[in-house]
Amino acid sequence: MPRGYGWSLWVLAWVGFFTPVLAQQYYSQAPSPGTPPSVSPYDLLRARLEAQERELQRLRQLIEQNPEVWTTGQSSGLQAQEPKRTDTHEEKFSIKPFGRIQYDVTFGTDQRLRNTTIGRDFVNGQEFRRARIGMQGKGYGIFSYKLEIDFRDPNDLVITDVYMQAQLPIGYLRIGHFKHPMSVEHLQSSKHFSLLERSAASDTIPIRGLGVLLGDTWAGERGTWAIGTFYDDLLQSPAPGDGDADNRDAGFQSLDARVTYLPWYDEATQGRYMMHIGAAMRLVDANGQSVRFRARPEVHDTFRFLGVTTGPASSYQQYVLEWGGNFGPLSFQSDWYLTQVDNASKSFLYGGYFQVSYFLTGEHRSYDRKQATFVRVYPYENFWWVDAAPGCRWGWGAWELAFRWSYLDMNDLGLAPAGGSNGTLGVMHNYTVGVVWYWTPYMRLMFNWVHSNLRDSFLGTTASADMFVTRMHLNW
C-alpha cells in the first residue's frame, strides 16, 4: 500500500467504529416515529399511566359482570377461582358476655296533679333504671343466640331478650322473646338513646313478646323487611290489685310486619348523611277482653299520667309511620302511632313525636342498615384527664344536645280512665330538653328536663309537671 494513503485509512477506521455508537446514542434520545418533538418524557409517562388505568377499569367491569366465572380466554388473563368454603359442622358456639347499668336520679314538682283522676302529687326518687347482664354468640356458620336478664329489682327478675336465630336463604329466622318490629325508637337500644326514655306514644305498643320472626334486607341493604307472629305477654286487660306493675298474663296473639327504605345514604361517610323512611303494623286478637293502654310522661320513676281501658274488644290494629335522617352532626327522628280498637264504639288512640339533636363536637349518630335503626355513637375523642406539668391535660369526649316534642291523645268514646297511678282519660303534651356527655362509646352522663302538660278529660281539669332526671350509663 502506498505511504500517501496511510492517514486516510486510519480516518476511515475511526469513522467506521464511532458511527454506529453515535447513531445509537442519537436514536435513543430521539422521539419515536409519529411523536411530535415537543412531547416531554412526563407526557409520555402520563399517557402510559392513563392507558393502564383504562385497562384496569375494563378488567373491573369484566369482573363485576361475571364475578364467579373468570376464564383464561378473557383478555384480562384472570384464572377461574372456586369459591372458598368453610367447614362448620364441628364449629362450637361462641360466648360473649355483655351488660349495662343505668342509674337515675329524679326530682321535680307539679301543678294541680292532685286535682286529676291520678289524685296524687309528683314524688322524687332514684332507681336502677336498667341493670342487665347476658351473653350472646354464634356457631356452626348460620346460627346465633342471645340471652339477657334484667335484675334491677331483686324480687322481680325480668327476661328481656331470649332467642335463637338461624340464617336461611330467604332471610333470618328468629324464635323466642324479643322486640316487636314496630318503629325506629322501639328497635333502638337504650344503650344508644339521645334522650332518657322513648316517647309517650310508644307506650301504647309493647316492646317485646314471645314470637317467631322472619326478616332480611333488600335493595342492597337499602331497605329491610320483617314479618312475624307474637304471643303478647305485656299488654292485656287489667287485673285487680296489680298496682303500678305491668301485667304479663294476657295471651293476645298478634301479626306484626315492618318495611323500611333508605332513599338517601352516603356510602363514603357511612351514613353521616342519610334519610330513613318506614312503616309498620300490628293486628291483635283481643278475644273479647277489655284492653288497657297506659303511658308515662317520658320519665320512668313516676306513675302513669294517661291510662284507659277499652271495654270488651274483639281486636285492635296498630300502625306506625317512621322517619329519620342525618345531616352531618344534625339528626332528626319521628314516629307517629295510631291504634284502632274494635270495641262497641270503635275507639282510637293516636300520637307521635318529633326529635332533633345536634353534636357540638361534630360526631353523628350511627345507623345500622340491617336493623334499620340508630346505634352507638363513637366520640372523636374520649373524655380523659391527666395532671401533668405545667398544667392539666384533658379530652372533651362528645357532647350532644337534644329536644323532643311528643303528643298522645287517649280521649275517645268507649274509653274509660284506668284510675289512680294507672292514669286518666285525656291528652298529654311533653317537651324534653336533653344533654348527653359521651365519655367513651360505652359510658355517658345524661341530663333531661321534661315539662309535661296533662288535660284530664274525665274530670275536666288540667295539670302540669316539671321533672329533672340525671342518668349515669355504662355498658360493655
Nearest to 316 by CA among 417, 415, 408, 227: 415
Supply the pLDDT for residue 344: 92
The model's pTM is 0.79
Helix (H, G, I), strand (E, B) or coil at 298: coil
Length of the chain: 476
**Whole-angstrom Cα distance, residue 413 to residue 308?**
11
**Whole-angstrom Cα distance, residue 450 to residue 106?**
11
DSSP state for residue 420 in the 8-state scheme: G
Nearest to 213 by CA among 234, 231, 198: 231
Nearest to 286 by CA among 242, 339, 240: 339
Helix (H, G, I), strand (E, B) or coil at 121: coil
Distances (CA, A) of 257 to 149, 400, 466: 26, 33, 37
**Whole-angstrom Cα distance, residue 40 to residue 243?**
89
Q: Which helix (H) or strand (E) holds 257?
A: strand 252-265
Which cell goes with 186?
Answer: 322501639
Report CA Rg, the chain.
34
Q: What pLDDT tens digit does each residue of the chain (476 aa) get? A: 444 444 444 444 444 444 444 444 444 444 444 444 555 666 777 777 777 777 777 777 777 666 655 444 444 444 545 555 566 666 789 999 999 999 999 999 999 999 999 999 999 999 999 999 999 999 998 999 999 999 998 888 888 999 999 999 999 999 999 999 999 999 999 999 999 999 999 999 999 999 999 999 999 999 999 999 998 764 433 343 333 333 334 578 999 999 999 999 999 999 999 999 999 999 999 989 999 999 999 999 999 999 999 999 999 999 999 999 999 999 999 999 999 999 999 999 999 999 999 999 999 999 999 999 999 999 999 999 887 767 788 899 999 999 999 999 999 999 999 999 899 999 999 999 999 999 999 999 999 999 999 999 999 999 999 999 999 999 99
Please identify which residue in the block is written with the cell numbers 331497605: 223
Nearest to 349 by CA among 264, 426, 278: 426
Tell me how crowded residue 432 is: count the other CB atoms within 10 A of its CB: 25
Which cell goes with 386?
Answer: 391527666
Supply the pLDDT for residue 45: 75
The domains located in the chain, with CATH, are 96-100+129-426 (2.40.160.10)
Distances (CA, A) of 389 to 154, 383, 384, 386, 392: 48, 19, 16, 10, 7
Q: With contact defined as beta carbons under 8 Å apart, do 307 and 295 qualify?
A: yes
DSSP state for residue 93 in the 8-state scheme: P
